[in-house]
Amino acid sequence: MEIRVSRHRIVEKQRTWRIFATGLAVRLAGIVLIWLGDGHQDLFRKGLVVLGVILSVGGIGILRYLLISGLHKKLSRIDG
C-alpha cells in the first residue's frame, strides 16, 4: 500500500510553519524590546518599549490569523 501526499498539501504545511515561526519570532522580539526598555527614562528606551508593544501586538495578530484560518478550513471541510 502506497501513501500519497499531494504536493499542494506539503507546500501548505510548509507555508503554515513559516507563518507560525515568523509570528512567534516577531512576538518574542517585541517582548525582548519591552524588557530592554522597561524602567528607564531615556527617550530611546521609551521608544524601544513602544516598538516592542507594536511588534508584540503584530506577532499576536499573525498567530491569531493562523488560528482563525485553521479553524475556518476545518469547519469548511465539515460543512461540505
- pTM, to two decimals: 0.78
Residue 26: count of CB within 10 angstroms of its CB: 20
Mean pLDDT, range 56-79, rounded to an integer: 87
Give the pLDDT of residue 72: 83
CA angle 52, 29, 73 (to 5 degrees): 100
Look-up: residue for cell 482563525? 68
**C-alpha cell of residue 25:** 519570532
Give the pLDDT of residue 59: 95
CA angle 73, 68, 62 (to 5 degrees): 125
pLDDT digits (tens, 9 = 90+) for 15-62: 989 999 999 999 999 999 999 999 888 999 999 999 999 999 999 999
